Amino acid sequence: MPDITLHNTHIFDAKKFQQTLTAEPGQLLSLLRQTIEHAQTAIQHAFEEGADTLETVTARAQFIDQVLIHIFDHYFSDCDQAVSLIAVGGYGRSELHPASDIDLMLLLQDTETDQTRHKLEQFLMLLWDSGLEIGHSVRTLKECVDEARKDITVITNLMESRILSGDAFLFNRMLEATGPDKIWNSREFFEAKLEEQTLRHRKFGDTAYNLEPNIKENPGGLRDLQMIGWVAKRHFGTRILSELVTHNFLSQAEYETLSECQAYLWKIRIHLHFITNRHEDRLIFDFQKQLAQIFGYEDGENNLAIEQFMQKYYRTVMELERLNELLLQLFRQEILYTDTDEDAITINRRFHIINGNIAACHENVFSEHPSSLLEIFLLLELHPEIFGVHAQTIRLIRENRHLIDDGFRASHIARQLFIDIITQPRGVTHELRRMNRYGILAAYIPAFDKIVGRMQYDLFHTYTVDQHTLFVVRNMRRLSVPGFAHEYPLASGIFHHLKKPELLYLAGLFHDIAKGRGGNHADLGAIDAEEFSTRHGRSAKDSQLVGWLVKNHLLMSMVAQRKDISDPEVIYNFAKEVETLTQLDYLYLLTLCDMRATNPKQWNSWKDNLLSELYHRTATALKAGLDSPTQRNIISHEARTSVSRMLEKQGIVSDVLNKLWANFSDDYFIYHTADEISWHSQILLDKKLKHPKVQARINLRGEAEIFIYTRERAGLFFSIASTLEQLGLNIADAKINITNDNYALNSFKVLEHSGCSPEEAWRITEIIEKLSACLSDSGSTVSLENLHRNRAQKSFNVKTKIRFEQLIGKDVTLLNITTKDRPGLLASIAQAFIDCDIHTHHAKISTAGEKALDSFHITDRNNAPLLDDDTIKNLRTALLRRLKH
């Protein structure tokens, strides 16, 4: 048996290992572990010194082959029945990454004898004790066939099997009994594997572009590459992908692309296994940083090294997605439709339908009619009976993408085709995604090419920029479907009143198109969007609207999440920026669809309600006119009158309410809704409730509200915030009003860490009881030591920014804090307020991935704005000190 050398590094000495097997059992295990450790170290050294990926995975497989063969032969040389030692799965392909499992099957002719059972136990025990990650099965020939017939994963493993040692005749009988002429013919196998891939893709959200992708299982990952090999082997009997070139299923260029993609993903995977010293296929943030450095990337002015590395990764898996689609389509035509070819159904002189797929009528269609590179996607929308693109036509599209040049983009036909594509009643999202996958979208909109596969290194943006953009358009299209109107009734209603929804789609396509260029991406993107709209026949007014939407696409989200939208002045200023109801309608829809597509895990009903409330308040202001904003005392008076009427119906007379409200400020009535004031008043008038009065409810909008009435004291906000954080709740909004007789009216809206409102009765009771207990004992402290810390957040550093702003006409100072989000953050901020004797009147809490974006209305010990430089400096210092811990 041979020695093994990799890149001039000696890995395995066959003679020495043979001698090892004659050692005493205790010494044998130690020597075996040393042999394995030496080989692993040698393989890693060789790889880092330049051994390529194929050499590396092959060398480890060869090393394990020799170890297993020597040990198997040592134990089974005198076995009383036929036994075959068989490598299956990836190991069967002779592909073994540094920490990959070693999958074995021990095949028996008949049920194991006592002697065989004893030898199997000795053999497997030694392997397990050696530290090798062994996956094994022991089967008779009959069991093997029965299991393979029932389970697609078993037959897949057996297809890739190879014998290492033992009875070769028995192994060959197994191959014959499980061949495609006996079980799982190529058609059945293809359909089952196709379903398997569909389910796997669905598990990963049908996208390869997650922030922390699995390089093996995600769409476009190594499993998709293996899928091609499995189907090819079952149908053609091929062992390696290059044989598909012989069968005219792959062009030489496509094979070379596949090989390059595989080598790149293998290189990442090998490094991942060495970095983690385990079987790890997830590209989590910590590993992305290390890999970017290993692959030689450096931070640029507009792109971090990690972003450059991940863009290369995403573009690689996109290429694999394209080739996976192409080859599976070829297999579908070869395997499913060989005997059922239909006559071509003519669409026009350029395209026809064959077996449900659209196909070019001849190979020169695109070279003779370049505009057909767009026309085909329009035809897919117009003909719902078509379910795909013929494989050869996919090839032709890819081969003719270069025809989309400046002249092509300037043609009236191409421009009209693009507008037609985005204005169809069905299929828009699907075809834009297909255009992106085939490289047509990036060819037609060159600026789009720069965001293909571009990731943003943070926890907020879940997808690459191009995928996020297409998700935004998908969300817009969903609003147009009556069957989904129940999801967002307000938005759906507004959408159906839009005169030109294509303007919304254009804004969606361009809102992030300038990311990564440097400068303000909204400003730069607005220029691109307006120019594109003008070139595509939109009027000056419409093009300006598209540009305005792109320029302001972050405005509504920022106001809703960071400002107090119950403040009439905030609404007035926002309305002035929006200017018209039409612009408000478009901006609201763009914002809603953008936020939903940015990070599904951070989208929730609270943010939905914020946007809809901001929309309604702004629409009311615009309808009333912005020339003479309503005075604050009038708003307060109207709120009192409205609530009085509501409560009179429940038997509470106005005199009782006026007495209750005598010590309340106008601000209380301005910043709370009539429903909130009514609820608070009923609690305060309920003599059965003890002090401090603490109540919680789910309001009409599904939000969890907490109301606390207690004597104002130093550290009150800290006590409440700490208790809520210990309960696992996030404060989304807090309003604190101090009455003239020094009582605090505290109103909180809270969310679970999942982003949902706490709804169960037991949870509401728990919140009330914990807060009541904390507030009843003014000396109590709350421990935040055991709060859960998110693994991914640890990978990011966020520079703390503290900004003070004096609000004109307000008796408070606005404090904005941007810092790294973490458990207990709000309590730490509240502790800094105690340190400096600062009072909190309003808090708006939001997060964007790893960032906390918190705003507070604060005053000094005398309830006056912070005007003194020393006071501001001391608070800044206290905040920075608390936020470090």
Min mean pLDDT across 264-273, 670-679, 776-785 is at 776-785
* DSSP letter string, 47-82: HHTT--HHHHHHHHHHHHHHHHHHHHHHHHTT-SS-
DSSP letter for 300, please: -
Provide the CA 325 distance to its chain's centre, in angstroms.
Answer: 22
* 90, HSE (Cβ side, Cα atoms, 13 Å): 20
Per-residue pLDDT, 789: 56
Look over the chain and give the mean of its residue pLDDT values, rounded to a whole number. 91
* 793 has pLDDT over 70: no
Model confidence pLDDT, tens digit, residues 472-492: 999 999 999 999 999 999 999
Question: DSSP for 87-149?
Answer: E-HHHHTT---TT--EEEEEEESSSPPHHHHHHHHHHHHHHHHTT--EEEEEEEHHHHHHHHH
- The CA-to-CA distance between both ends of the chain, in Å, stands at 61
Q: How many CA atoms lie within 13 A of 586 on its CB side?
A: 28
**pTM listed for this prediction:** 0.86
Looking at residue 785, its pLDDT comes to 56
Run of H or E including 16:
helix 14-20
User: For residues 76 and 123, is the Cβ–Cβ distance under 8 A?
Assistant: yes
Return the structure tokens found at 442: 């990036």
Distance (Å, whole) CA 28 – CA 22: 8
3-class DSSP state of 603? coil
d(CA 650, CA 754): 37
Closest CA to 548 of 569, 573, 522: 522
Beta bridge partners of 214: 282
**pLDDT more than 90, % of the chain:** 73
pLDDT, mean of residues 847-875: 90
- At 852 the pLDDT is 86
DSSP 729-764: EEEEEEEEEE-TTSEEEEEEEEEETTSSPP-SHHHH
pLDDT at 215 over 70: yes
pLDDT at site 788: 55
pLDDT higher for 614 or 809?
A: 614
Helix, strand or coil, per DSSP, at residue 627: coil
Decide if pLDDT at 154 tops 70: yes
Q: Which of 64-78, 340-354, 534-548 has the lowest mean pLDDT?
A: 340-354
Q: Which pLDDT does position 571 carry in this prediction?
A: 95
What integer pLDDT is reported at residue 153 of this predicted model? 94
Distance separating alpha carbons of residues 325 and 336, to the nearest angstrom: 15
Residue 588 has pLDDT above 90, yes or no: yes
Least reliable range by pLDDT among 100-114, 177-191, 204-218: 204-218
Find the helix packing angle between 555-562 and 605-624, rounded to 10°: 110
Asked whether 443 and 404 are in contact (CB, 8 A), the reply is yes
Task: Give the separation between CA 165 and CA 84, rounded to whole angstroms.
Answer: 6
Task: Count Cβ neighbours within 10 Å for each residue of 268-283 and write b for 16 or more, e otherwise.
Answer: bbbbbbbebeeebbeb
Percent of residues, the chain, with pLDDT higher than 70: 95
Beta bridge partners of 745: 709, 737
Domains and CATH numbers, the chain: 4-182 (3.30.460.10), 185-335 (1.20.120.330), 445-624 (1.10.3210), 790-885 (3.30.70.260)
User: What's the CA angle centered on 481, arms 480 and 487, to 5 degrees?
Assistant: 95
pLDDT in tens, 702-738: 899 999 999 998 889 999 999 999 999 988 898 999 9
Across 72-76, 123-127, 626-630, least confident range: 626-630
- How confident is the model at residue 849, as a pLDDT? 74
pLDDT 10s digits, 4-39: 677 666 788 888 888 888 887 778 889 999 999 999
User: Is residue 346 classed exposed, middle or buried when 0-12, 13-18 and 19+ CB atoms within 10 A define those classes?
Assistant: exposed
Quote the DSSP letter at residue 790.
-
- For the segment 367-382, the average pLDDT, to the nearest whole number, is 98
pLDDT at 379: 98
Note the pLDDT tens digit of each residue in 275-311: 999 999 999 888 999 999 999 999 988 888 999 999 9
- Taking residues 617-622, report their average pLDDT: 95
User: Residue range 350-374: average pLDDT?
Assistant: 96
Q: Kindly indicate the confidence band of residue 646, based on its pLDDT and cuts at 50, 70 and 90.
A: very high
pLDDT at 791 over 80: no
pLDDT value for 12:
83
Q: Is the pLDDT of residue 536 over 70?
A: yes
Hey, which residues does 804 pair with through a beta bridge? 815
96 vs 780, higher pLDDT: 96
According to DSSP, the residues that pair with 750 across neighbouring strands are 704, 731
Rounded to whole angstroms, the Cα distance separating 746 from 665 reads 14
Is residue 430's pLDDT more than 90? Answer: yes
- Band the pLDDT of 247: cuts 50, 70, 90: confident
The residue-averaged pLDDT of 147-172 equals 95
Are 798 and 876 within 8 A, CB to CB?
no
More confident residue, 701 or 803: 803
